[in-house]
Structure 1
């Protein structure tokens, strides 16, 4: 039931729209909230290393009416070069400063302000706006900086910038009325930094049902690259170090003489060249690489697979969980999933939609592939169906938006 209409300001410097990047979490949540009659503003930076086509305009802000009740606001920011450019941090300060001006520009007063990491510096601008309007401040952690910098990036906990970010994170936990995270077990870390557990809400990444239901067909040129009459183990997404694709290639090498099984890796990334070189040098004729395809074609590609694979490094960081966009996509496809993962919040296991194994274990990947290959097709179909139902019930952005909405309404009754 639709209750009182609310106005949401969602502030994420690294948010985007589908035509220039992924679109992603906040874009789809905003769409669903707008359908419910709420007024939603998503505020993002005009330039980031994540955008395929950064926004270029002269004004300080660019307003885009995406659809009824949903406006995307771009904040004009300077260009920088790559994720590790120090100018990226300068941009975060500029963004945080500029968004304060929105109090006089956006015509609809917010009922709630959501600020999403990893741009912790946005805290200054977002918390200022929440205080100015006297509305709840939601701090959302999608990447637990500075923990990521120390545990994965190798920075010292005593590095001045790490100490500064840690001060912001701790302060945000104290200031926030609610704390969200898409990491299933993020509360473990947050409580160690002083968070009151009652503030915490797990709000997972999801999938836009209208988008996946209206998939595009694959180009003929792409389809021609995929072997016919083979049992296809498929992967779609970034091919980088964190994706641990070398262990899948280990499995392919072990199975190279099994003429019935073939591996298809769709995507690009820093590790792709190294993996391609290894495949050629070892004459792994059972592996095919395909360049990235448009997001709207992903479901069409997954339908070509007999099973989907996703892997991770065996890293202590994953004790907090993972927030992979591809997992909901895989599960929705109706294909069984092999999940090579040693951490918290395993959707594949929760949905009973495939086989979950320890990370970094090529022998277990091989065993899982052979197990699925030997299963009757009816059992594989049942696995896939359970995954799809799990997504529809738990990971659709329609349901995720409803969860966010209920939290805001709950704040009214307290």
Structure 2
């Protein structure tokens, strides 16, 4: 059976979605399926984008038995929500074109956000006469409406119409929590086509072991400090200002250090805020590869999971499961009505 996966991000990009879909594709290959992934040229490299992509519109590669077709994508100002939304439409179109190169397929799989990938999967499904499965990681557009990033009534109606269209046309819809399933059912979608498949962690890689050999503390001068870490995307949804506020309240405790690791549209603003109020108990680090991320977990005394108070959709941040699998203590700051607090309390 031939399976086509459309994804905005794929390794070596350092994002939870890229790792989840890579692990899924890898396992499908091991089970005997022919898997093709359509994605963009990698961005957010630790160092820089490989020169082998310079001047190319697309490339074909092999990764762990996965057929990989990468397509060129434009660079946009991601901190401007409207432009970011436009970029998602353009990228989804480019991935659809890449999908045409993939040949015959039996099943097409994609995820949201970005929502327009569902339209690409539908169109490819029509041309290849293959059903598509829509994996919902976050309820869009409701999530950006709640954050105040989408206010235009016309654009809201267009986005909601697109959402309903994709739900109707998908053969199956997969979600990572029961709360997300109930949310979609409430939009008059047939419950029989919605399946809850919880996100996973690589238990072979993440081991709950206090004796983990960890040089991360030594390399980053963390010895003797009580480390409170946040590692991940620093975007609109994370609400990380509260971490800065907590650090300010605890600045007299010289042994406590807040470690913020990652990247995102809000990072520069957070760094500026820390400088403006002259805090010395916060350390910023750039995005780290997955193996270093594990070292960060084990170097931490407490791991933070935050969501903006206005995030009311039942999202479960992928980092939560990794933290819990590592056995580190979790402190969460988020709306109590979501599914993540239920997992923490269970």
| 2:135 and 2:173 in contact (8 A); partners too | yes
Aligned residue number for residue 374 of structure 1: none
Aligned residue number for residue 185 of structure 1: 179
Aligned residue number for residue 201 of structure 1: 195
Shift of 1:234: 2.5
Shift of 1:151: 2.5
SS of 1:198's equivalent?
helix
SS of 2:229's equivalent?
strand
Aligned residue number for residue 76 of structure 1: 72
State TM-score, norm by structure 1. 0.68
Aligned residue number for residue 62 of structure 1: 59
Q: Distance in 1 between matches of 2:261 and 2:44?
A: 22
Shift of 1:278: 4.9
Q: Which has the larger Rg?
A: 1
Q: Distance in 2 between matches of 1:79 and 1:253?
A: 36
1:143 is the counterpart of 2:138: yes
Shift of 1:301: 1.9
Aligned residue number for residue 94 of structure 2: 95
- The change in CA–CA distance for 1:279 and 1:239 in structure 2 (over 3 A counts) is farther
- If each structure's helix is expressed as a fraction of its own residues, which one has the higher value? 1
Q: Distance in 2 between matches of 1:240 and 1:100?
A: 29
Q: Which structure 1 residue ranges, 5 or more long, are not aligned?
A: 1-5, 354-414
Aligned residue number for residue 332 of structure 2: 339
Aligned residue number for residue 321 of structure 2: 328
Deviations 1:225-269 (CA, angstroms, capped at 9, x unpaired): x141x4333222344453333323333344444455443333441
Q: Distance in 2 between matches of 1:257 and 1:63?
A: 55
Deviations 1:167-198 (CA, angstroms, capped at 9, x unpaired): 22111111111112235422343234321122
CA RMSD in angstroms comes to: 3.3
Aligned residue number for residue 3 of structure 2: 8
Structure 2 residue corresponding to 1:270, chosen from 252, 258, 268? 268
State TM-score, norm by structure 2. 0.80
Q: Distance in 2 between matches of 1:100 and 1:259?
A: 54
Deviations 1:16-61 (CA, angstroms, capped at 9, x unpaired): 212x443322112111222222221111133778996388355654
Q: Distance in 2 between matches of 1:76 and 1:252?
A: 41
- The change in CA–CA distance for 1:239 and 1:155 in structure 2 (over 3 A counts) is closer
Structure 2 residue corresponding to 1:236, chosen from 209, 221, 231? 231
1:297 is the counterpart of 2:296: no
1:17 is the counterpart of 2:40: no
Shift of 1:304: 1.9
Q: Distance in 2 between matches of 1:44 and 1:176?
A: 20
- Greater shift, 247-256 or 305-314, is seen at 247-256
Q: Distance in 2 between matches of 1:48 and 1:266?
A: 17
Q: Distance in 2 between matches of 1:99 and 1:130?
A: 13
Q: Distance in 2 between matches of 1:197 and 1:212?
A: 34
Shift of 1:313: 2.1
- Greater shift, 77-86 or 321-330, is seen at 77-86
Deviations 1:265-323 (CA, angstroms, capped at 9, x unpaired): 3344133313422552xxx55x23031233321221221222212222222x33x3224
1:109-258 equivalent positions in 2, closer than 5 A? 109-156=104-151, 158-159=153-154, 161-182=155-176, 184-212=178-206, 218=215, 222-224=219-221, 226-228=222-224, 230-258=225-253
Shift of 1:138: 0.8
SS of 2:268's equivalent?
coil
SS of 1:237's equivalent?
strand
- The change in CA–CA distance for 1:350 and 1:117 in structure 2 (over 3 A counts) is closer
SS of 1:236's equivalent?
strand
SS of 1:270's equivalent?
helix
